[in-house]
Amino acid sequence: MQAQRKRKLQDRPSSALPSKPVQQDPYPTHHGPTPEECRAVRDDLLALHGFPQEFAKYREQRLRKLGLVVKEEGGGHGRGEVKTVLVGEEEESILDGLVKTVLSQNTTDVNSQRAFASLKSAFPSWEDVLAAESTCIEDAIRCGGLAPTKAACIKNILTCLLEKRGKLCLEFLRDLSVSEIKAELSLFKGIGPKTVACVLMFHLQQDDFPVDTHVFEIAKTIGWIPTTADRNKAYLHLNQRIPGELKFDLNCLLFTHGKMCHRCGKRKDSQQCGKTKGSQQRKESPVKSPGKACPLLNYCNAGSS
């Protein structure tokens, strides 16, 4: 009887087999943000900042994947204005993107970019990095901070990848589903949900929404997540609530706004816009948004009411 039941299960078409459970929203009674709120915040920040040029090449890759013309809405001169942006940069490998993301942890953009450039200059190939002593890798990336930890993480990624796949390449991820990609990347020691989400969004052109410090603090401030939320639960909630087609632009804009707006910096004592303390500023000093009031003030008031 048991063997017969097992045979019947094997004969079922794959579409009929039970799928893996979808991760549940940890805050099902917290109904924000709505799609309308997400679009409004995206439009307001796009009108204020224009689309951030540091992310333009990734945006081009996404639109190219969809077969669309690369355009920039807003441009910092008001809603509705559209201009064509041709970046034309070669798409980097997924392994390059993963290592770049590892080096970006707990440091500034400038320092992480220097660390990656230094690593690639010292070691022309990933095979050279794998063969190198850990101390040599540390020396190459020291300007990015946490060199021993990051060097060990990079070395582990390369070692595991060679053992499992026989070559130092992650391009096979392009053929996998999002859940399969998350499972593969999460096998590497030191690679957490935010790093995985960044690789998905920037290097695999998937609709995902990484939650870094900037996004996390603004999301709490404008009431998109409970004030008691932690970063991992915020990631699950926001990915459930934000429409896929808005995730990339909205994430890039919230990150940029968090760095530039003096009202939306990291706060521990208050979730109200406009209240910050110098001792609680981020490593990257916030700069006032150019010539306009913070458009998130209205959302702050709504979130606190």
194 classed as catalytic: yes
Phi-psi label, residue 17: left if phi above 0, alpha if psi -120 to 50, beta otherwise: beta
Average pLDDT, the chain: 82
Choose the weakest-confidence range: 62-66, 223-227, 291-295.
291-295
**pLDDT greater than 90 at residue 100:** yes
- Report the C-alpha gap between 178 and 76 in whole angstroms: 33
Q: Is 21 exposed, middle or buried (0-12, 13-18, 19+ CB in 10 A)?
A: exposed
Residue-wise pLDDT tens digits, 193-252: 999 999 999 999 999 999 999 999 999 999 999 999 999 999 999 999 999 999 999 999
Catalytic entry in 100, 194, 247, 259: 194
In this structure, are residues 171 and 93 in contact, taking their beta carbons and an 8 Å threshold? yes
Percentages helix, strand, coil for the chain (3-state, rounded to 5) are 55, 0, 40
Q: Which of 129, 115, 135 is nearest to 158 (CA)?
A: 129
pLDDT band at 265 (very low <50, low <70, confident <90, very high): low
**pLDDT greater than 50 at residue 178:** yes
Q: Which residue blocks in 206-278 are alpha helix, DSSP H?
A: 213-221, 231-241, 244-260
Using CA atoms, how far residue 255 sits from 27, 63, 67, 244, in Å, is 23, 20, 26, 17
- Report the C-alpha gap between 295 and 305 in whole angstroms: 17
Choose the weakest-confidence range: 86-90, 94-98, 141-145.
86-90
Q: Which of 274, 273, 276 is nearest to 299 (CA)?
A: 273
**pLDDT greater than 70 at residue 29:** yes
